[in-house]
């Protein structure tokens, strides 16, 4: 080896700043307060090693360390949902509203979640959130909240039907995702299932024939992720309620009141008014709130559920209660805004972004698109939308970029559907596309 090479290498290493010197950079000091000193120090050492290997200049160590730091101390990364699926399960379903996010921040410290500040005595957990839920549902005498939709149904079956019969149509024995099947879930509670009818046709008479002394309740499940069409029949809640046995309805998607764009999607208010004794639903779907399970219905039934020992294991934390209440009482949610977005407005946004990026040399065009609700809601319903169409290579590059964007591939192109993208994120989206175009 040439001695001058060794000398140059030694000189470079000597110019690499010490760890404490780099850590004194104001940007890294702020990051240590946000992420913890250990994580920042690890990034500094990685940057120093890159300098030793000649990948970065010694005077760029601090900049490199800053670039290696995550945005937050948590491992979850925010993404732009440009899939055209409003409630994408892999992306966390419903995004919280600004009001709900603020409520979560305010509830992060000590709160009066189980304390009556006026009397100094213990109070019912989440009482204001439950009151807001009852008011929003309209026809509910009482409400309870657990940690997800499946838990709501499990609590109902455990508290009301352990060792007894649940009568359910064969056409509603659904798989709810990730391999979890409704029959397995219900049997795990100790309840017995009495299947009636056929896959495509079940009548009120089928339920009536199955009712006996051991019947706990009749269960009606909305098949939220598929549709059966053609020669079909299913009784409505009013018909079942006339049989003299409590009717439990799992509406799934969390729609509390009818929505004009989703006429076939069951809602809690309508089911309760028709005679359902109990309605279960998810909070992170069409309601647009945090992940939780909603139980709405008769006071004696909801009271029995809330006092059951399992309710303690399934209860939600104060952050969920705060987000739920703000969702129910605050301004519109991102989910509601995406659902109600006018197709003409989406087209104008796509055309503006396409023109902007095309002028910068990006192979892009605005195209019509079709969006869906997703998350097990409104199966078969499509929503007219608009998208940016880009070369296929953009899909992976955008997904793995600094500010991840998740789109979809269609006919050999990467489509970025705008229906689930808030207008305020249009510039973020454009910047992400630009960054790929520069590679």
User: 104 pLDDT exceeds 70?
Assistant: yes
More confident residue, 176 or 351: 351
Residue 222 is predicted with a pLDDT of: 85
Structure tokens at 274: 């028709």
What Cα–Cα distance (Å) separates residue 199 from each residue in 166, 193, 219, 228, 334? 17, 16, 15, 9, 36
pLDDT in tens, 54-97: 899 999 999 999 989 988 888 889 999 999 999 999 999 999 99
| 8 A C-beta contact, residue 343 and residue 387 | no
Structure tokens at 89: 């399960």
pTM over 0.75: yes
User: 51 pLDDT exceeds 60?
Assistant: yes
| 8 A C-beta contact, residue 64 and residue 50 | yes
Sign of CA dihedral 388, 392, 394, 398: positive
What's the mean pLDDT in 224-253?
Answer: 84
User: 224 pLDDT exceeds 80?
Assistant: no
The distance in angstroms from the start CA to the end CA of the chain is: 37
pLDDT in tens, 390-399: 999 999 999 9
Task: List Cβ neighbours of 2 (8 Å cut-off, separation of 6 or more).
Answer: none
Structure tokens at 124: 């019912």
What's the mean pLDDT in 130-134?
Answer: 95
User: 5 pLDDT exceeds 90?
Assistant: no
User: 11 pLDDT exceeds 70?
Assistant: no
pLDDT in tens, 296-350: 999 999 999 999 999 999 999 999 999 999 999 999 999 999 999 999 999 999 9
Helix (H) or strand (E) holding 304: helix 299-307
Q: At what angle do helices 3-15 and 37-52 cross, to 10 degrees?
A: 160
pLDDT-derived band at 439 (thresholds 50, 70, 90) equals low
Q: Half-sphere exposure of 213 toward its Cβ, with a 13 Å CA cutoff?
A: 0
What Cα–Cα distance (Å) separates residue 95 from each residue in 266, 368, 383, 415? 22, 24, 19, 21
Q: At what angle do helices 61-68 and 26-35 cross, to 10 degrees?
A: 20
User: 211 pLDDT exceeds 80?
Assistant: yes
Residue 4 is predicted with a pLDDT of: 47
Residue 234 is predicted with a pLDDT of: 85
Instruction: Note the Cα 117 to chain centre separation in Å.
Output: 33
Hey, which residues does 389 pair with through a beta bridge? 365, 415
Mean pLDDT, the chain, whole residue set: 91
Residue 199 is predicted with a pLDDT of: 81
């Amino acid at each position: 080896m040439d001695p001058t090479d060794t000398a140059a290498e030694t000189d470079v290493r000597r110019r690499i700043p010490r760890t404490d010197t780099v850590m004194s950079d104001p940007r890294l000091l702020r990051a240590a307060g946000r992420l913890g000193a250990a994580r920042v120090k690890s990034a500094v050492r990685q940057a120093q090693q890159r300098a030793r290997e000649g990948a970065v200049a010694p005077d760029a160590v601090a900049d490199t360390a800053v670039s290696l730091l995550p945005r937050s101390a948590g491992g979850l990364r925010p993404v732009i949902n440009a899939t055209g699926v409003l409630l994408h399960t892999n992306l966390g379903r419903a995004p919280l509203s600004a009001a709900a996010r603020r409520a979560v921040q305010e509830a992060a410290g000590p709160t009066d979640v189980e304390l009556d500040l006026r009397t100094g005595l213990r109070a019912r957990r989440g009482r204001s959130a439950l009151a807001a839920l009852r008011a929003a549902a309209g026809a509910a005498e009482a409400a309870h909240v657990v940690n997800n939709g499946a838990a709501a149904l499990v609590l109902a079956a455990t508290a009301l039907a352990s060792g007894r019969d649940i009568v359910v149509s064969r056409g509603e024995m659904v798989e709810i995702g990730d391999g979890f099947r409704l029959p397995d879930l219900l049997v795990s509670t100790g309840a017995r299932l009495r299947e009636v009818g056929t896959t495509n046709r079940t009548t009120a008479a089928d339920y009536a024939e199955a009712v006996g002394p051991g019947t706990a309740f009749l269960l009606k499940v909305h098949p939220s992720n598929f549709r059966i069409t053609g020669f079909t029949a299913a009784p409505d809640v009013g018909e079942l309620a006339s049989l003299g046995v409590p009717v439990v309805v799992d509406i799934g998607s969390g729609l509390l009141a009818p929505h004009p764009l989703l006429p076939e999607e069951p809602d809690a208010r309508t089911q309760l008014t028709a005679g359902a004794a109990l309605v279960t639903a998810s909070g992170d779907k069409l309601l647009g709130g945090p992940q939780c399970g909603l139980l709405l219905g008769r006071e004696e039934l909801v009271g029995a559920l809330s006092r059951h020992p399992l309710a303690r294991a399934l209860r939600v934390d104060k952050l969920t209660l705060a987000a739920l209440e703000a969702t129910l009482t605050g301004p519109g949610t991102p989910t509601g805004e995406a659902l109600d977005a006018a197709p003409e407005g989406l087209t104008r946004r796509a055309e503006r972004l396409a023109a902007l990026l095309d002028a910068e040399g990006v192979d892009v065009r605005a195209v019509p698109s079709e969006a869906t609700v997703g998350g097990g809601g409104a199966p078969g319903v499509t929503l007219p939308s608009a998208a940016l169409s880009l070369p296929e290579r953009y899909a992976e590059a955008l997904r793995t970029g600094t500010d991840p964007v998740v789109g979809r591939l269609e006919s050999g192109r990467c489509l970025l559907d705008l229906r689930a993208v808030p207008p305020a994120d249009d510039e973020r989206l454009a910047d992400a596309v630009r960054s790929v175009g520069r590679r």
